Amino acid sequence: MLLVKPPVEVLSRPPRAISRTTRKVGLIGSHMPSLTDCPWKDPSWELWAHASSRSFYRREPDVFFEMHRRERWNRTTAKKASSYCRWLQRNTVPMYMHKRYEDIPASLEYPLGRVLQEFRIAGRSYFANNVAYMIALALTEGVTHLGLWGVNYSAQSEYAIQRGCAEGWLMYAAGRGVEVILPEQCTLLREPTLLYGYESHDEHGNLVKDYMPKVFKPAETITPLKPGEKFEKAQPPEWLRKEIEQEEADYPRPEWAKIGA
């Protein structure tokens, strides 16, 4: 019996496969000058955001991060914290937190164990801000482009400690082949801008201004009035005063609640 083999289909080229060659993640905070350049209308960018800065954003982020312990964001004694907690319970955007909380429906447990296991240098784990957790997670998920908008860490307070950590993680990401994008208004990786040794000292051998310690404006303190001085109540800045006026117009106080009533 003659067996006839079925015809074999010959492909002129391999079948096309759909693959994603880039993954762009933008990390956004609350530094207003650099938030203006955030790619709000570009759908190719995933936006990962600080949950506490949600009111600064022009569109809803893809992911929120709240990396403080519950006692920090669930302080019922503070009106602002209480309001924030109520928002957390209503929020529907996925949010990385310490763990999955039943009363926070959108909460996700941050994979801390996996991240700590993968990212250790000289036996140390260096996570001193939200951005560090964000970058580490993005690296585990195959990010190719990393942009920062609204992130600067330029204030003295706790940000002075956090700034070095953020810059270290940016350099680490770049070393792993990730393209890092920083807006012009962001001063990360740019203070100082001059090359040490080549430009850090003038022709007399003196340290130039950019390399001198940054002087922060001291906090204002309450001092007793001097004889003859008149007390003047401090006024909020113009932008805040307008917001207050608008809020009072939208939600007027009843007569009984007004001062002096």
Query: Which residue ranges in the chain fall short of pLDDT 50?
Result: 2, 6-15, 17-18, 219-221, 259-261
CB neighbour list of residue 57: distance below 8 Å, 6 or more residues apart: 28, 35, 40, 47, 49
**CA pair distance 152, 148, nearest whole angstrom:** 9
CB neighbour list of residue 176: distance below 8 Å, 6 or more residues apart: 139
pLDDT at 154: 79
Which CATH code of 3.10.20, 3.30.1490, 3.40.50, 2.60.40 fits the domain covering 24-181? 3.40.50
pLDDT digits (tens, 9 = 90+) for 160-213: 789 999 999 999 999 999 999 999 999 999 888 889 889 989 898 998 988 887
DSSP readout, 205-228?
SPBPGGGSPPPPPPPP---PPPTT
pLDDT digits (tens, 9 = 90+) for 225-248: 667 766 565 566 677 677 667 767
Alpha helices in 91-237 (DSSP H): 112-118, 130-140, 159-175
pLDDT at 137: 97
- As given in the structure block, the two tokens for residue 115 are 């991240």
Q: Where are the domains of the chain?
A: 24-181
